[in-house]
A and B are shown apart, each in its own frame.
Chain A
Amino acid sequence: MTDLLYSDVEESLRASVRATLQRSMNDALVARLADEPAMDVSGIWLTLTQQLGLAGLLVPEALGGAGAGAREAAVVLEELGRSLAPVPFLTSAVIATTALLSAGDEQYLPRLAAGEATAALVLPWTARSGAWTPVEGTIEPVAGVLEADLFLAPVMGQGDVLCLRCYRRDEVALEPVIALDMSRPLARVQLTGPGTQLASGREAQEAVDAGLAAGAALLAAEQLGLAQWCLETVLAYVKERVQFARPIGSFQAIKHRLADLYLVIVNAQAASRYAAATLAAGDPDAEVAQAVAQSWCSDAAVRAAEEALQLHGGIGMTWEHPIHLRLKRAKADQLALGTPDRHRSDLADLVELPAS
């Protein structure tokens, strides 16, 4: 059976990412993004890139990257999910990078790995592997584009052949939109220039699917990290908040809810680890693992944020408490890269349980 635990190397990577994020940002900064969407937060990504080489984590060493795999990327995403760091790791270093790797690119990947540029896949943030249409006209809402330098878009070329093309910043028109989760800004995108060809036909299709599949499999890790933050935060609160002369965490009604939430998160951790491990290994079960992880972890993160909010009482509803930031990210993550319901539909096909 696949190893579902974390290695010492992964734990050490986690510690480095967590420490760097704690030094570079805080919840107040994330909250400000809703009021000041144009705020420059690029320094956080710069730090993660320069100090830890996260931009090139999945890029092979020959192309200037760290040559790590999906298991390590998942650990990074758990930390990014905890902290809601506004960085393009998922969109650029996972999704776009995986698409470029699949397309056999050697031109752009060294720049991405070095942190000199970031890339984004131009598709609605709800797209999932095997369920997207080529870009035409204006596309929204797209994630990871506002600060990106390179834009990978699947378009219909001459003779109705699908092409994956790369556009520079002066070849696209970008318009920010107001997002439910402002910690991962979204935009409206229109392709205005000719772009350059990365792949065509089946290769283009496979590159986009590979990017989206990696994104979905590893989004589960972000959701896990977010859910764990919510559980830890609410546990600390119910141990300390006193009502009726007792810590509220001693009331069975609250204990049982948190025990159930713990179970949901334990399951999410196993599902997320399995998705990352099968992705890393090219395991034939990777598609099932991804659909299962997205189906479960999306709902798990929302449930964790909703429970944490409720058990904080009134303070949980306020702008000053960081829970609302997690709720917004959790709900947006649930819709991103395929809803749980759509992943269950995909799963039904994969495990031969037809709808009719």
Chain B
Amino acid sequence: MSEQTSDLPQRVQDLLREHDPATTEPSEFLGARFDAGLAWVHFPPGLGGLALARGRQQEVDDLLAAAGAPTPDYGRNSIGLGMTAPTLVAFGTEQLQRRFLRPIFTCTEIWCQLFSEPGAGSDLAAVSTRAVRDGDDWVVDGQKVWTSAAHNAQYAILLARTDTSVPKHAGLTYFVVDMSDPGVQVRPLRQITGEAEFNEVFLTGVRVPDQHRIGDVGQGWKVATTTLNNERVAIGAGNDREAGQIGKVTQRWRQEPAVRTPGHHAELMQWWVETEVTRLAGERLRQQLQAGQPGPESSAMKLAFAHQAQQVSGFALELDPEEGLLYDDWTMVRPDSASFLGRGPGFRYLRAKGNSIEGGTSEIMRNVIAERVLGLPPEHRPDKGIAFKDVPR
């Protein structure tokens, strides 16, 4: 063990001594944690990390949790924390890393992701939002959709087309967009739950400095793949036993004998087992990934999570049929923080329908597993090798 790794607990103790979590304002504490290299220990020194193995983070998190330290708000800034940060570390310039990583971790700047478009959801590489070079800037025009947190976000990661004369994957470039730019318009998109958790985002003549480009021109797909693999890890990550939808159901089962029937019991135990084995598989994947970047295997966890969340949340409505017929509130709100588990069982059932769509549909996840993990032959793709401008759309 190197000197640097062995003093990890000491570093945590120093942080706690210098910044008492009980009296320090959360964003200030998180800033100090970032400066101490304890935000993401596998990140480079000076950028919130100590260049340690990814798996050492758990030690830090456990010690800080035991001390009652504040944690970053994943509900409000999941894109920034889960996707922008690892992408910046992998591909961003040092200037971008120094500018953005700290406020991402302290959640003083919220991020959203300008990826999906009305015509490019599952076929994400088909995005048609254009970015055209103009001096030191790029000028962006297009429309994005399913943008969660856009109404709260200060910054966005953007995938845009910079060259239509090459095949679709080769003509993309990845940028950071300032959401306060006058050309950015955010409109709520009301969903099945009644809430407007997502938005449509219209980009009209938005000027993005070339310094806000992540990765090389034309390399956007490679950068986006890193983002997406991290997204799938973030979405699929389980944690404690009986967390998530199964926890809501087991809690109820123990508290209300009236909901217990033999058929429900058999089903409950099936879901309990499936959730538990997926949790263990997620844990095993994390142990495998401790040294490296997430790979396509993370798609399996995302797929499993979506399946269970949908099935278990549907089962929860059947436990109390009279209650299942009711709904808590259809008022349109634009929530500050995304939650699959908040509110009543009806909300949880409806919200879970998105789990097999957002972050890549379950069908796409299966293709990813089949082709990139199992090595099966690719689908027939008529747009392969054809310039984007010549692909029928």
Q: A1-B283, A4-B287, A266-B300 are in contact. Are A355 and B262 (CB under 8 A)?
A: yes
Identify the 4 closest CB pairs spanning chains A and B, nearest first. A255-B370, A270-B280, A259-B366, A250-B377
Is there a chain A Cβ closer than 8 Å to B367's Cβ? yes
When the two chains form the complex, which single residue of B268, B273, B379 contacts A252, counting CB atoms closer than 8 Å? B379
Q: Inside 8 A of B366's CB, which chain A residues have their CB?
A: 255-256, 259-260
A247 with B377: CB separation less than 8 A: yes
> How many contacting A-B pairs (Cβ < 8 A)?
128
Which residue from A255, A259, A347 sits with its C-beta under 8 Å from B269? A347
Judged by a CB distance under 8 angstroms, whether A238 is at the interface is: yes
Q: Does B392 interact with chain A (Cβ within 8 Å)? A: no
> Is chain A's interface secondary structure helix, strand, loop, or mixed overall?
helix
Cβ of A243 within 8 Å of any chain B Cβ, yes or no, is no
Which size class do B's interface residues fall under? 35 or more
**Inter-chain contact B303/A263, CB cutoff 8 Å:** yes
Q: Which residues of A contact B285 (CB under 8 A)?
A: 266
Cβ of A268 under 8 Å from chain B? yes
| Nearest CB of A to B8, in Å | 17
> Chain A's nearest CB lies how many Å from the CB of B52?
18
Cα of A252 to Cα of B285 in the assembled complex, Å: 26
- B284 contacts the other chain (Cβ, under 8 Å)? yes
A5-B285 Cα distance, complex, nearest whole Å: 9
- 19 more contacts with CB within 8 A, not counting A250-B380, A256-B366, A263-B369, are A247-B377, A252-B379, A254-B376, A255-B370, A256-B363, A258-B370, A259-B373, A267-B278, A267-B304, A269-B284, A270-B280, A271-B277, A274-B280, A344-B266, A347-B269, A348-B265, A352-B254, A353-B265, A356-B265
Judge whether A296 is part of the interface by a CB distance below 8 angstroms: yes
**For residue B367, which residue of chain A has the nearest CB?**
A255
CB proximity to B under 8 Å, residues A219-257: 235, 238-239, 246-247, 249-250, 252, 254-256
B272 touches A262 (CB 8 A): no
A295 adjacent to B273 (CB under 8 Å): yes
Supply 21 A–B pairs (Cβ within 8 Å), ascending by A: A4-B287, A235-B375, A246-B380, A247-B377, A249-B376, A258-B370, A262-B300, A262-B369, A263-B303, A266-B281, A271-B280, A273-B284, A295-B273, A341-B266, A347-B269, A348-B265, A351-B250, A353-B253, A353-B268, A356-B257, A356-B265
Q: Report Cα–Cα, A137/B285, bound state, in Å.
A: 49
A160 close to chain B: CB less than 8 A: no
B149 on interface, CB distance cutoff 8 Å: no
State which of B253, B284, B374 has its C-beta within 8 Å of the C-beta of A5. Answer: B284
Q: Is B260 an interface residue (CB 8 A)?
A: yes
Assess the A263–B300 pair: CB atoms within 8 A. Answer: yes
Of the listed residues B260, B268, B367, B377, the one surrounded by the most CB atoms of chain A closer than 10 A to its CB is: B377
Chain A residue at minimum C-beta to C-beta distance from B365:
A259
Distance in angstroms between the alpha carbons of A263 and B260 in the assembled complex = 30
